[in-house]
Amino acid sequence: MRILMIEDDAETADYLRKGLGESGHVADHAATGPDGLSMALAGTYDALIVDRMLPGLDGLTLIKSLREQKVPTPVLILSALGQVNDRVRGLKAGGDDYLIKPFAFSELLARLEALARRGGAEDAVATRLMIADLEMDLLARTVRRGGRKIDLQPREFRLLEYLMRHAGHVVTRTMLLEGVWDYHFDPQTNVIDVHISRLRGKIDKGHAAPLLHTVRGAGYSLRAPS
Amino acid sequence: MRRANLIKSSAFRLTLLYMILFGTSVLGLLAFIYLSTIAVIDRQTEDTIDAEVRGLAEQYREQGLARLIEVIRLRSSIEGQDYYLLTDPNLRPLAGNLSAWPKEAEGAKDWVDLTVTRNSKGQEVSHDVRAQLFTLSGGYRLLVGRDTHERTNIRSIVVKALGWSVAAAVGLGLVGGIVISRRMLRRVEHVARTSQGIMAGDLSRRMAVTGSGDEFDRLATSLNAMLDQIERLMTGMRLATDSLAHDLRSPLTRLRGRIELALRQPPQAARDREALADVLRQAELALSTFDSLLKIAMAEAGVGAADLRVIDLAAVARDAAELYEPVAEEAGIRLRIETQGGAMVRAQPELLAQSITNLIDNAVKNTPSGGEITVAVGLSRSSVTLRIGDTGPGIPAVDRQRVLDRFVRLEESRSTPGAGLGLSLVAAVAKMHGAQLHLGDAGPGLVITLIFPIAASAHDSAEWRAVTEA
C-alpha cells in the first residue's frame, strides 16, 4: 500500500514509516497541513494518516477540503483528543476511522489495512459472504460451514460478520469492541477472547482446517486455509 | 473621577432623559392651560364689549347722537374697566374717558388692542385694553373697550408657574438622578470589585445579595451560580491534575526501574526481549491508568454533562451483561438479567456503559464458581434503578465508602488484576448523572444500586425541547 502520513511530530512519523516499511508498505510523509493537502491531492494513495493538530492547517479542515474536492482516499485520524465528541467531530469531518494517541502499532496497521481494503473494493451491498467453505447469508441471517447449518446468537452473528468482512486481515480487540459492540473503551477483563473462543468452537470444531486464527500480540484473523 | 463616573452612569442619563420628558410635558400642560384660559377671557371681554355696544346702539337708534353722548358721559363717569370715546369725523373727542383717539386705532377697523395711560390717584398707570371701533353715520367714530389686565395677570401667573416647575423638575431630577445613580453605582462597583478580586485569584468571593429581589439581586444570584460552577470545575480540574501527577508517578517509576535493571545487566538477547515486553506491558498499564484517571476527573468535573442524551438504561445494561455472559459462564457463574421497558435516563451512553461493565467486571471477578450475578433494571414513577448483585464475599460495611476512592483495593482482591479505579469511575459517573450510588449487603454478597432520576420518554422529551426552545 502507498500511505501518506500527515504528522508534525518527526519521531512519530519516523517510527510509523519504519513500522509500515517492515510490513511491506510505502509511506510518504508531510509535516505540515498545507504540504499534506497538496500531496494528498497530487498523489495516489491507498490511505492517509492525518494528525488532528497540524501546523498551518488543522487535520479536520484538511480532511474537509479533501472531501470537498471529491478525493475518496480513506483517512485514519490520529489524535490525542479522546473524548466522545472529538471522535464524532473527526468522523463527521470526513474521516473514516479514529485512533487515539498513544496507540499500539499493530492497532494502527490493522485499522489502516481494513480502511484501505474498504476504500479499494467496496463490496456492492453483498448479501452473501464466503470464506472457504464458510458461508453467511446476510438476508436469511444463516451461517453454514461445509453445507451444515451453524446456530449463532445475534451477537455472535455480528461478530462473525465483522470478521468475514475483514477476512484475511488482522482485526484487533478494540476494532471488534467498536465494530460489534459500539464500545469505545476497553473492559478490564479480556471479554473478547472468550467470545472469540466460543465462536471458534462453533465454526471450527470438527473441521480439519481452522479458519479463525489468533494473531499474537495483535488480534484475530479469519482466513481461508492456504 | 467619581463625578465623571456619575455622569457617565446610565442611571444618571436615564434620570436626565426623564427630567427632559417631564419638563416638556409640564411645559405643554401649562401652555394648554394658558391658551385655553386666555381664549375664555378674550371671549368674555368681547362678550362684555358686545353687550355695551348693543346698549349704546339701542340708545343711538332710538334717540340719536345727543342721547349717545349723554349715555357715554354717564358711563364714563363711573370708574371701572370700561373705556369709551366718541369723536367727530376729525377725531375730536365729544365724550368718553379717553383723552384722544389712540394712535393704534387710527388706521384700524373693528377690533384693536391698545395701551392706555390713565391717571389714577396721582399716578400714571398704563392699562391693556381691547376695544371695538365703529364709524357712525355722519363720520362720527366710536370706541368701546375693556381692560384686559386679567389676561396679563394670568400670563404672569403662568410664566411664574413655568419657571417654578422647570426649576423644581431640574432640581428634583438632578438630586434624584444623583441619588439613584449613586445607589446603582455602588452596587455595580461592588460587582466590579468582587470580580476583580476573583480575577486576582480569590475564587471564593461572591456578589452580595441584598434580599430585595430586584434586578441587581437577580444578576448577583446568577453571577454567583456561574461562579459556583466555575469554582466546581476549577477544583475538579485541579484535583484531577494533582492526582494525575501523583498517580502516574508510581507506574512511571516502576517502568523506569525496570528499564534501569535491564540496562545494568550484561546484554543477552532473550532476557532483553523479555525486559522489553515487560516494559511495553507496564507502559500500556500506565496508559490505561492515565485514561481511567482522565475519565474519572472529567466525569467528576462534569465535563460533557452538557451532551447527555435520553437513553434506555435497560438496553445499556443488557448489552453490558451480554458482553460478560461468556466470561461468567466460563467461570461457572450464572448471569441473570432482569429488565423492564421504559427505563429512560439522561446519560452519556459511553460512560454509562463503561460504568456498568466495570460493575459487572467486578462482580465476575469476586464471585466464586457456582455463584450468581443479577443485573436488574427497575423503575418507579420518578427513578430508574440499576441493581447489580453477586454472591461473592461482599464488602464489609466499614470499607464501603473507602472502595469508591481512587486506587483503593481491598486485601481480598489483591490477587486479581486491576488498578482500583473501576468503582471510582462509577462513583464519578453517578455524580455526573445525578444518580445515587449505594453499596449494600446481599447476604451473602455485594449489591450495588444506582438510582437515576427518570427522564421523560423520547417522545416527551422532543415535546419538552420544543417547549423549552420556543
Which tens digit of pLDDT belongs to each residue from B210-243? Answer: 888 888 888 888 989 888 888 877 877 777 777 7
Whether residues B280 and B388 share a domain: the answer is no
Q: Does B111 lie in the same domain as B31?
A: yes
- Looking at the fold, whether B413 and B287 belong to one and the same domain comes out as no
Domain boundary, last residue among A67, A97, A120: A120
Question: Domains in chain B: how many in total?
Answer: 3
How far does A185 lie from chain B, in Å, by closest CA? 7
pLDDT in tens, A131-143: 989 999 999 999 9
Contact A109, A23 (CB under 8 A): yes
Residues B104 and B229 in one domain: no
Q: What is the pLDDT of residue B407?
A: 66
Per-residue pLDDT at B411 = 58
- Asked if B361's CB is within 8 angstroms of A85's CB, the reply is no
For residues A98 and A18, state if they share a domain: yes
A21-50 pLDDT per residue, tens: 998 999 999 999 999 999 999 878 999 999
Q: CB–CB of B326 and A84 under 8 A? A: no
Q: What is the DSSP letter of B381?
A: S
pTM of the predicted protein model: 0.64
Instruction: Please report residues of A whose CB lies closer than 8 A to that of B302.
Output: none
Q: Are strands A75-79 and A97-100 parallel, antiparallel or unpaired?
A: parallel
A171 and A206 in a common domain: yes
Contact between chains at A84 and B330 (C-beta distance less than 8 A)? no
Question: How wide is the angle at C-alpha B287 spanned by C-alphas B283 and B293, nearest 5°?
Answer: 145
pLDDT tens digit string along B244-267?
A: 777 778 788 888 988 998 899 888
Please provide residue A153's backbone torsions phi and psi, each rounded to the nearest 5 degrees.
Answer: -70, 160
- The answer as to whether B180 is a domain residue is no
Domain-ending residue, one of A120, A150, A185: A120
Contacts of A155 in chain B (CB under 8 A): 322
pLDDT in tens, B344-395: 999 988 889 999 999 999 899 889 999 999 999 998 888 999 999 999 888 8
Residue with more model confidence, B173 or A161: A161
For A102, which residue in chain B has the nearest alpha carbon?
A: B287
Residue B325 and residue B452 in one domain:
yes
User: Is residue B341 located within the same domain as residue B462?
Assistant: yes
What range does the domain containing A210 cover?
128-222
Give the ipTM of the model, two decimals please. 0.83
Within-domain flag for B161: no
For residue A168, give the CATH number of its domain. 1.10.10.10
State the sign of the Cα–Cα–Cα–Cα dihedral B421, B423, B424, B429. Answer: positive
Domain boundary among A70, A102, A120: A120
A104 plus A143 within the same structural domain: no
Residue A93's CATH number: 3.40.50.2300
Alpha helices in chain A (DSSP H): 10-22, 33-42, 59-68, 84-92, 105-120, 154-165, 173-176, 191-203
B335 with B402, same domain: the answer is yes
Number of H helices, E strands in chain B: 9, 12
pLDDT, residue B331, reads 92
Judgement on whether residues B382 and B249 belong to the same structural domain of the protein: no
- Do residues B381 and B452 both lie within one domain? yes
Query: Is B272 in the same domain as B328?
Result: no
pLDDT at B9 over 80: no
Whether A26 and A113 share a structural domain: yes
Residues 6+ apart with CB under 8 A from B309: B346, B347, B348, B349
Mean pLDDT of A58-63: 92
Task: Tell me: do A88 and A141 sit in the same domain.
Answer: no
- Domain with B322 in it: 304-469
Same domain, yes or no, for A102 and A168? no
For residue A127, give how far its alpha carbon lies from the nearest alpha carbon of chain B (Å): 26
CATH number of the domain enclosing B402: 3.30.565.10
Q: Which residues pair with B420 in a beta bridge?
A: none
- How many domains does chain A contain in total? 2
- B420-453 pLDDT tens trace: 678 888 998 998 888 999 998 877 889 999 999 9
Which has more pLDDT, B389 or B92? B389
Tell me chain B's radius of gyration from C-alpha atoms: 51
B329 and B283 assigned to the same domain: no
Residues B286 and B420 in one domain: no
**Mutation site for A-interface testing, chosen from B289, B323, B358 by largest number of A Cβ within 10 Å:** B323
Q: What is the pLDDT of residue B396?
A: 83
Instruction: Give residue A203's pLDDT.
Output: 92
